[in-house]
Amino acid sequence: MKTLIKQAETLIEALPFIQAFHGKTVVVKYGGSAMKDPILEDEFARDIVLLAAVGMHPIVVHGGGPQIGHTLDQLGIKTEFHQGLRVTDERTMDVVEMVLTGLVNGAIVRRINRFGGAAVGLSGKDGSLIQARKMRLEEGDNGAGEGIDLGQVGDVKEIRPGILKTLIAQGFIPVVAPVGQGKNGKALNINADHVAGRVAEALNAEKLILLTDVDGVLNADGRLISSLTDGEAARLIADGTIQGGMIPKLQCVMAAVKNGVKKTHIINGSLHHAVLLEIFTKGGVGTEMVQEHSG
């Protein structure tokens, strides 16, 4: 009986959050360790189905770097990286698009639907959702100013969210592969964090959640910062407290809160039911960011 009462208390704790977020859009970037463990994959799918079942509008934007790398290795296609970005020629882009829009996207859709959801897979080319432009890296040291040609790698020029709004209105869960539509309809591979952030902005989402392989943003002592403002984040980057791969993630969520997203969250996707714990508990499990003036 005590166990049953505890379960009821857990539901009661979640009630204010369910009421507050009913009818609101939540964009979740899915990737990292959460996509490598079948148990975590099932739990993530259930979490997304539950969000929809209590009246929220979840949108999943996924990555797939490891899966792309594995497929390229199998095909004997060598990969070159610059500043962590994959140089993507036409042959590589064919593989990227096949893996992201086919294998990875299809697997996520099937899992969500297996647990009672109504997921629909699409890429940024569908409905002209993601308008993209070709990205070039600055050389930096040689002063040439010509930049490094990354091939079919892009960033987001514009999000046209009509197809997402239509799917949501019909009760579907969109699952988006980060392949954009470039000049002359050419496919461009885009960072999934950036796509998720721009989708959240375009829809004025209540929340943007980035699943990572770390607990969140850490302070100088290595302790988790549970809540911070975009201004505080900028100061932590400037003074060197935050370094490496966390910087672009923070820049992504900082831009999102500046452009209309109510709250953003960086959480560890390897935690069981991380999405539910962050949304439906008072303390959450990662780092929450809001605009400075709203805090």
5, 28, 257 from 205: Cα distances, Å: 34, 11, 10
Tell me the average pLDDT of the chain: 90
Summarize pLDDT for 33-73 with one digit per residue, the tens.
888 899 999 999 999 999 999 999 999 999 998 999 999 99
Instruction: Supply φ then ψ for residue 91, to 5 degrees.
Output: -65, -45
The structural domains of the chain, ordered by start, are: 16-294 (3.40.1160.10)
Q: Alpha helices of the chain — where are they, by DSSP H?
A: 2-21, 38-53, 65-74, 90-97, 105-114, 162-169, 192-202, 230-238, 246-258, 274-280
| Model confidence pLDDT, tens digit, residues 147-179 | 788 999 999 999 999 999 999 999 999 999 999
* DSSP assignment string, 60-101: EEE--HHHHHHHHHHTT----EETTEEPB-HHHHHHHHIIII
Residue 196 CA to residue 129 CA, distance in Å, equals 12
pLDDT above 90 covers a percentage of the chain that reads 63
pLDDT for 103: 94
pLDDT tens-place string over residues 88-147: 999 999 999 999 999 999 999 999 999 999 999 999 999 999 999 998 776 554 444 457
Mean pLDDT calculated for residue range 225-240:
89
Can you give the pLDDT at residue 10? 76
Among 156, 236, 166, which Cα is nearest to 190's? 156
Does residue 203 sit in helix, strand or coil?
Answer: coil
pLDDT of residue 76: 92
| Percent of the chain surpassing pLDDT 70 | 96
Task: Examine the pLDDT at 290 and tell me if it is beyond 90.
Answer: no
Among 82, 250, 100, 254, residue whose Cα is nearest residue 190? 100
Q: What does the pLDDT read at residue 6?
A: 77
Tokens 């993507």 belong to residue: 88
Dist. CA 255–CA 242, nearest whole Å: 17
Query: What pLDDT is attached to residue 145?
Result: 46
CA dist 24 and 44 (Å) reads 19
